[in-house]
Amino acid sequence: MPRHAFTLVELIVVLVIISAVAGLALPAYGSALARYRLDAAAYDLSRELDRAATHARATSTTVTIRFDTTNHVVGFDDLPERITAATSFAFDLRESPRDATFFSVDFSGTEDYQISGFGVPSSEGLIVLTNGGIERRIKVDAATGMSRVSR
Flag whether 146 is in a domain. yes
Flag whether 36 is in a domain. yes
Q: CB under 8 Å to 147, separation ≥6 — which residues? A: 45, 46, 49, 50, 138, 139, 140, 141
Kindly give the confidence (pLDDT) of every residue in the chain, 151 residues in length, as a single tens digit, with 9 standing for 90 and above: 666 788 889 899 999 999 888 888 777 777 888 889 999 999 999 999 998 898 888 999 899 999 999 999 998 888 777 667 777 788 899 888 888 999 999 998 888 889 998 888 889 999 999 998 899 999 999 888 889 999 8
Flag whether 108 is in a domain. yes
Cα–Cα distance for residue pair 49/145, rounded to 1 Å: 8
Q: Quick one: which of 93, 86, 103, 81 has its CA closest to 44? A: 93
Flag whether 3 is in a domain. no
Q: Which residues pair with 66 in a beta bridge?
A: 75, 112
Flag whether 1 is in a domain. no
Flag whether 79 is in a domain. yes
What's 27's domain CATH number?
3.55.40.10
Domain coverage including residue 81: 8-150
Domain count, the chain: 1
Flag whether 2 is in a domain. no
